[in-house]
Chains A and B, each alone.
Chain A
Amino acid sequence: MVALTSAAGVAPAPRRHRVRVWRGLVLGIAAAYFLIPLYAGLRFSFQDDAGHWSLYALRAIPSQIGFTGAFWLSIKLAFTTLVGTLVLMVPTTIYVHLHLPRVRRLLEFVTVLPIVIPPIVLILGVLRAAPIWLKASPYLLSLMYVILTMPFVYRSLDAGISAIDLKTLVEASRSLGANGPQTLWRVILPNLRAGILSASVLTLALVLGEFTMASLDLWTTLPVWIYQFQQTDGHIATMVSMLSLIGTWVLITVMVSLDRSESRRSRRKAEVA
């Protein structure tokens, strides 16, 4: 036994070195593949046509035709989608966890469908099936985005709910005299904050970058505008694209770190008490 372990302990020394070299190589190639395009996109957006460094693309953005409209349309769609998806999914997921555990499997299956069904085929059917008054409104996109975000939103909420003892919380709240809405608002939702937050971040990121449905429904959202504008000025289009990317990442980081500091503060408060 002792001999075996010591033999095993001696043998891996050269192997460990080889593994480290091999791992460094893999990570290095991956880093190059993922970082060079990012760097290239940023560099291109900070150059002018002659290839000199310039901030002209950044300064010129607000005055470009159609930019403001596309920007606000995307923001409006993002927030209506967010409200819609939370109002639909949060009560449903909580209720199913509390009272209909057998329906969970069905819910899981249904919410995975939007991943399986290509958005391009879905919008094809929607454009035929939707009533005309709805097709005339950009908010048809919001309604469809609620469907598209369902897989991510459901999974975030489901993970959040599974992490807390929902049943005990609800029973405790009831026995202290709270009614249904009070329990939802003051007990369940604060405890689900992390799950709701990650669901919201995923929703915003998806809607702000969605191209397929918006372009085929003929609404000029930000990604569609960027695509059309590249023929006018590639540097400005790339700059807007990189900014929307950075904006989304900043949004994600801020929301996640806000949540982390908030939970740390409440934990400290609990410790002091």
Chain B
Amino acid sequence: MSESGLAGDADATRGADELSAARVASGVRRWRGLRRAAAVTPFIVYVFLGLGIPILAVIDYAFRNPKGHLTLANVSTITHGTYLLGFENSILLAALTSVIPGFLGLTLAYAIATSRSPFLRRMIATASGVLANFGGINLTFMFIATLGSTGILTSWLAAIHLNPWNLGFNLYSFYGVAFVYLYFQVPLMVLVITPALGALRPAWREAASNLGASTWRFWRHIGLPVLFPSVLGGMLLLFGSSFAAYATAETLTAGTVTLAPIQIGNLLNGNAISGQENIGYAIGFGMFVVLAVTMILYGLIQRRASKWLR
């Protein structure tokens, strides 16, 4: 108590000294502040030119016709017909490939987290890091060799009279793309959810089973409610990743599946009807809106999830 009082007195006298010197110091400080700001200027200028200007260009052209006049025609076009279908499919694909890999990733991460082999844990952590950034042409070729009409798995399944292509499966379709997306979405979920699983203390599990709770009741009343915000946050991240993906869907289906990013690619590759050159920009703008909503939700949930991670 007395110590803090003494410290307060010392602060007061020093404060008076500083007050007299403040005017002189302020000029120096402003100069130093400028110099410090100058040190991060290259970064800020780079981000502005490389990220800010292109984004502004997309938004600007979304509201202009090819002659450069302001218009709402582009935005109204993309809310009808084939472009609306592209958005619907993209959102459906993103929802499918965030909820299913979300649960699969959670299961896998839990299986890894509870295993006692540190080698397995380290190996899967590294593999997840690599696979989560996987995609595009390599992934496409691997799956054509696996589940294409003459792929390995197809022939194995055909040998037991379960040829997936005869059962209505088509790798080069919407559901084929969804199946291939699991290859990077599940590892991404494992990466995202593993830290959150650390919040699920083993002591809770023991306490619950001491009180007579079954496995099901533990998960129903303790495990899932604690993990819920983290799982939901992870799924939203997966949603964004899948919604924005282009390379895998494009190379797998040669641009034939109706998804918003694929439509942008087709328009850019010169398949635009005259007068509709700026439709691609409107689709880009629409994608911004969907992703912005996703990220705002993610931010809100993240704030709630961090409560358990302390």
- Interface residues, chain A, CB within 8 Å of chain B? 4, 7-8, 11-12, 15, 19, 22-23, 26-27, 30, 33-34, 36-41, 43-44, 88-89, 91-92, 95-96, 99-100, 103, 107, 110, 113-129, 143-144, 146-147, 150, 202, 205-206, 209-212, 215-216, 223, 226-227, 230, 234, 237-238, 241-242, 244-245, 249, 252
* Among A23, A107, A128, A241, contact of B137 (Cβ-Cβ < 8 Å): A241
Chain B positions 48-75 with a Cβ under 8 Å from a chain A Cβ: 50-51, 53-58, 61
- Cβ of B261 and Cβ of A118 under 8 Å apart? yes
* Given A119-B246, A146-B46, 4 further pairs, Cβ under 8 A: A41-B141, A125-B56, A129-B54, A210-B136
Residue of B nearest to A22 (CB): B111
Q: Is the CB of B111 within 8 A of A120?
A: no
Q: Does B133 have its Cβ within 8 Å of any Cβ on chain A? A: yes
State how many angstroms separate the Cβ of A8 from the closest Cβ of chain B. 5
A36 to B139, CA, bound (A): 12
Q: What are 12 A-B contacts with C-beta separation under 8 Å?
A: A22-B111, A27-B112, A33-B182, A33-B183, A41-B142, A88-B42, A95-B39, A122-B55, A124-B280, A212-B246, A212-B250, A244-B138
Q: Please state if B40 and A11 are interface contacts (CB–CB under 8 Å).
A: no
Cβ of B36 within 8 Å of any chain A Cβ, yes or no, is yes
Q: Does B269 contact A (CB under 8 A)?
A: yes
B133 touches A88 (CB 8 A): no
Tell me whether A121 and B287 are in contact (CB under 8 A). yes
Q: Which of A26, A89, A127, A147 contacts B50 (CB 8 A)?
A: A147
Judged by a CB distance under 8 angstroms, whether B165 is at the interface is no
Q: Is the CB of A118 within 8 A of B244?
A: yes
Chain A CB within 8 A of B288 CB: yes
B273-303 interface with A by 8 A CB criterion: 280-281, 284, 287-288, 291, 295
Q: Is B268 an interface residue (CB 8 A)?
A: yes
Interchain CB contact under 8 A, B57 and A36: no
Residues of B within 8 A of A39 (CB): 152
**Which B residues are in CB contact (< 8 Å) with A143?**
50
Q: Provide the residues of chain B in CB contact with A96, threshold 8 Å.
A: 40
Cβ-neighbour of A227 out of B108, B251, B280 (below 8 A): B251
A166 vs chain B, min Cβ distance (A): 15
The proximity string for B residues 240-266 relative to A, scoring 1 for CB distances below 8 Å and 0 otherwise, is 100111110011000000000100110
Q: Please tell me if the beta carbons of A223 and B206 are within 8 angstroms of each other in the complex.
A: no
The answer on a CB contact under 8 Å between B51 and A100 is no
Docked CA distance A248–B183 (Å):
18
Is B76 on the interface with A (CB-CB < 8 A)?
Answer: no
Q: Would you call B146 and A40 a contact (CB within 8 A)?
A: yes
Q: Nearest residue in B to A7 (C-beta to C-beta)?
A: B210
Q: Is the CB of B39 within 8 A of A37?
A: no
> Which single residue of chain A is at the shortest CB-CB distance from B267?
A124
Residues from chain B with a CB closer than 8 A to the CB of A125 are 53-58, 281, 284
**Could you tell me the distance in whole angstroms from the C-beta of A104 to the nearest C-beta in chain B?**
11
- B244–A124 contact, CB under 8 A? no
Please state if B284 and A211 are interface contacts (CB–CB under 8 Å): no
Known: A8-B206, A12-B209, A241-B137. A40 touches B130 (CB 8 A): no
B107 within 8 A of A: yes
Cβ 8 A contact of A99, one of B39, B107, B120: B39
- A26's contact among B108, B280, B288, by CB below 8 Å, is which? B108
B288 in complex: contacting residue of A41, A114, A121, A216, CB < 8 Å? A121
| Nearest-Cβ distance from residue B268 to partner chain A, whole angstroms | 5
Are B51 and A114 neighbours in the complex by a CB distance under 8 Å?
yes
B20 within 8 A of A: no
Beyond A37-B145, A117-B51, is A209–B138 a contact (Cβ under 8 Å)?
yes
Kindly provide the distance from the CB of A102 to the nearest chain B CB, expressed in whole angstroms.
Answer: 11
Q: Which 6 A-B pairs give the minimum distances between C-beta atoms?
A: A125-B54, A118-B244, A40-B145, A41-B142, A37-B142, A44-B145
